[in-house]
A and B are shown apart, each in its own frame.
Chain A
């Protein structure tokens, strides 16, 4: 059925928790056999995921369904003494370093768990493998996603209503994931579930993508608006290089903050340049920037009460008044520090280890309305959506790419401009923030692919104004 303008957006339901029958106590007892030294952490990860994909209509197979489940057992040995590993030595295992061992299976069964336990422990004799009951509930019947099937038609209708027409190939996906983490020596958290949608549009003049916690008429309007904007800017020349004012709409500000604040304050990336704790208290940007990460405040369909290591999430201030308050950390980094706290460990799936990542960023709104943000910015650019960005954690160099934008004329967005990049050192860019909008907009910040581990990230941001920043084609 095709959604109408008045129809509410569909959120994935999560009634069917597959891990209700899992014997968590027995799993925890089994894991305690692995964690036999001070500072050891052993955990088990059980996951089930489903993706329903509707590709562009001329690209069969016409519907694609991926259903996965599996488990992983991990032993994390922090503070490993030199040479405790299997290696002949090297600078990566000094005191304070850590070792981690993981075994992953594409099946959830007592036998698979026992095997994974044996492989992660690397020492348990075969006879000692506990085999608790871990089988998940059976998959429900065939996957159905009527809201996904109806979405392309809804987008095309919205585009037509704007009196435009152009070729566009839409791929729409519904993503669902159920997770249960059991760790040794700590309370077992509630199972977690996430569900959201992704949309990718291929246009003759580039690609566009977005994440949504729900899918319906409102999201079709959002997609159509973005595509029409891209269509109208298709032949606009890129701006000449300049240094000046830029106003980032909330969606673009979310990408900036994800790349320039969240990634920059991940403990593992901070460690590339030195001690992650040393970042605390450092002035990192304009005093107008108050940024936090709060997975519990994410849109309801992706909200989390615990992270992917089973630690409770919390409202974590990253920047207060432009000063670093607390880096993002997982169990590995928190175990070695009195300053870093866990709760921000995320993992793409059973085959990857957790690492510190943000889930849902918030930029605390400021006091400026649109008129104030645009005031005196004539000749600068209004940039609605960023295509992506990247940060070099060693040099602090940062780039944010835009497919199009608009020149600011008479205190408002004017004629379109083509592709351009905002680049510079992270600290300089964040210091250049001179205004924060008063109206925050929640939404998907996009896919984050740190080290190839792809995860959705969310944000609630107002618009941002930056002055004196460099824009290049």
Chain B
């Protein structure tokens, strides 16, 4: 068990308060007075602007978010309560139930390394006019790229948030986030595609690049299954970052939380390896420049880079201090990886920036040039399906057939499928073009060259 509760310590990292001073200490006191030996109080403020360009409408909205959450536990039971507005120590707490819930000590997640808040966290939200012009520019750029295509909708959200947390064991933390997301959907003929990107500021999105991605995908998606495709092909593959990252997101259960150990066991070979030498996977909640870059996680524990797979060898899953204690293996290193998706959500272990480590010496064009006969897969056309029982996966994809390092014909209406062992073990080359996408956390991958998987026609 943790030691006895302590008074809240000094704030861990973070800049000045900016006028946001939630009543954390009074709330912890009130919870203690109500019999909760373990108590945590959290408060968040956020602002966001959302803009939409859709069929026959344009709209804008501004959202001012204020929420709080507490967790409390007696020796026998626990509760979570949250609400809008300001944290009020006089709130009547519900009766706890279920099992007790331990909360972390300040040193439960290990020592905190120094961290400076990026200067762009102070940047203002995108203005309404500027944001709508950006979306209009996406539409115009798509029209230039592909005149018969139609932008069905383009959404832009730009937001910032400020969070405070304290618990009775002495943890005290503040962190801020600055996140923008752009999602665009387009159609041409019977094909419909979408692109979703995230950045720290909306101003970083390039309309021409978004339009080009939409047009590329529409061109391929409209082509359908190519003539002469016999139903299955085991050619070499080059996965663009969008495909590789989507697969990595689907493989998160292999890499996150205590249950990962059970899932990864059947994939280990006799030497304990689970992947090809070229494959290394890391999670880093404070990745410099990352969209979710923060010094601490949702429980106030310091974030850090953790290597999960190193040159093909599984090192450990991504574990919070609580997960590590559950496993009871002194060799694993916990990290600050507990996420609060919002103030409404119970914190849980989740990736921050989970990514395949790129090879800075390999441009993706080199990987394409090496492809004698195979496929360059640009994007997925739906959710991957993973069967953990038989260790297989499949995902609808679209791209190009390739011969002699050159794209030959578009390919759509096909599945990329195979075993998880082949997926992880078949990585022959890793590019330098690491790109992150907003899934459950920011998930990133560079281009990957693979063998051992197959394309199947979709029935």
Contact = CB atoms under 8 A, between A and B. Distances in A.
B350 to A, nearest CB: 15
Interface of B: 53-67, 71-73, 77-85, 92-101, 128-129, 132-133, 135-136, 139-140, 152, 187, 190, 192, 344, 346, 459
A137 interface: no
Interface residues of A, number: 58
Interface string A344-381: 00000001010000000000000000000000000000
Most A C-beta atoms less than 10 A away, residue of B57, B83, B346? B57
Interface of A: 52, 54-55, 57-70, 85-94, 96-107, 112, 115, 119, 122, 141-144, 149, 268, 271-272, 332, 351, 353, 392, 394-395, 472
B136 A105 contact: no
A104 B192 CA distance: 32
Contact of A86 (B100, B128, B192, B459): B128
Contacts of A115: 64
Most A C-beta atoms less than 10 A away, residue of B71, B78, B132, B140? B132
A97 B56 contact: yes
A271 B77 CA distance: 52
A60 B94 contact: no
A228 B133 CA distance: 56
Contact of B84 (A70, A93, A99): A70
Most B C-beta atoms less than 10 A away, residue of A52, A62, A94, A107? A62
A57 B98 contact: yes
Contacts, number: 165
A353 B100 contact: no
A58 B63 CA distance: 36
A85 B95 CA distance: 51
24 contacts: A52-B94, A57-B99, A58-B98, A58-B99, A60-B98, A61-B71, A61-B72, A61-B98, A62-B96, A63-B80, A65-B81, A86-B133, A88-B133, A94-B56, A99-B59, A100-B59, A104-B62, A105-B64, A106-B67, A106-B84, A107-B64, A107-B66, A272-B152, A351-B61
A142 B94 contact: yes
A98 B57 contact: yes
Contact of A62 (B54, B66, B79, B140): B79
A61 B79 contact: yes
Contact of A64 (B79, B139, B459): B79
Contacts of B71: 61
A101 B59 contact: yes
Nearest to B190: A395
B346 A61 contact: yes
A55 B56 contact: no
Contacts of A101: 59-61
B55 to A, nearest CB: 5
Contacts of B85: 69, 106-107
A195 to B, nearest CB: 17
B344 A92 contact: no
Contacts of A92: 53-58, 139
Given A61-B346, A66-B81, A93-B58, 11 more contacts: A61-B78, A64-B81, A66-B344, A88-B133, A92-B54, A98-B56, A100-B60, A102-B61, A106-B65, A119-B62, A271-B55
B56 A63 contact: no
A65 B139 contact: no
Contact of B57 (A63, A99, A394): A99
Contacts of A268: 55
Given A67-B84, A87-B58, A332-B57, A104 B64 contact: yes
A89 B136 contact: yes
B96 to A, nearest CB: 6
Contacts of B53: 90, 92
Contacts of B97: 54, 62-63, 149
Contact of A59 (B58, B65, B84, B98): B98
B84 A394 contact: no
B98 A87 contact: no
Contacts of B65: 106
A94 B56 CA distance: 7
Nearest to A103: B62
A104 B61 contact: yes
Contacts of A94: 56
Nearest to A112: B64
Contacts of A87: 58, 129, 132-133, 135-136
Contacts of B79: 61-65
B66 A106 contact: yes
Most A C-beta atoms less than 10 A away, residue of B61, B79, B82, B140? B61
Contacts of A60: 73, 78, 98-101
Contacts of B96: 61-63
Contacts of B62: 102-104, 119
Nearest to A142: B92
A412 B66 CA distance: 56
A112 B83 CA distance: 17
Contact of B93 (A59, A96, A142): A142
A85 B84 contact: no
Given A57-B99, A107-B84, A62 B61 contact: no
Nearest to A57: B98
Most B C-beta atoms less than 10 A away, residue of A63, A115, A392? A63
Given A86-B128, A87-B136, A61 B73 contact: yes
| Closest 10 A/B residue pairs (Cβ) | A62-B98, A102-B61, A62-B97, A61-B80, A142-B92, A60-B101, A63-B97, A100-B59, A106-B84, A86-B129
A392 B192 contact: yes
A101 B85 CA distance: 23
Contact of B346 (A64, A85, A99, A144): A64
B413 to A, nearest CB: 13
A62 B346 contact: no
A122 B129 CA distance: 11
A110 to B, nearest CB: 14
A353 B67 CA distance: 21
Contacts of A100: 57, 59-60
A85 B403 CA distance: 49
B61 A63 contact: no
Contacts of B132: 85-87
Contacts of A105: 64
A79 to B, nearest CB: 11
Contacts of A107: 64, 66, 84-85
Nearest to A122: B128
A89 B101 CA distance: 55
Contacts of A98: 56-57
A66 to B, nearest CB: 5
B78 A62 contact: yes
B229 to A, nearest CB: 20
Contacts of B66: 106-107
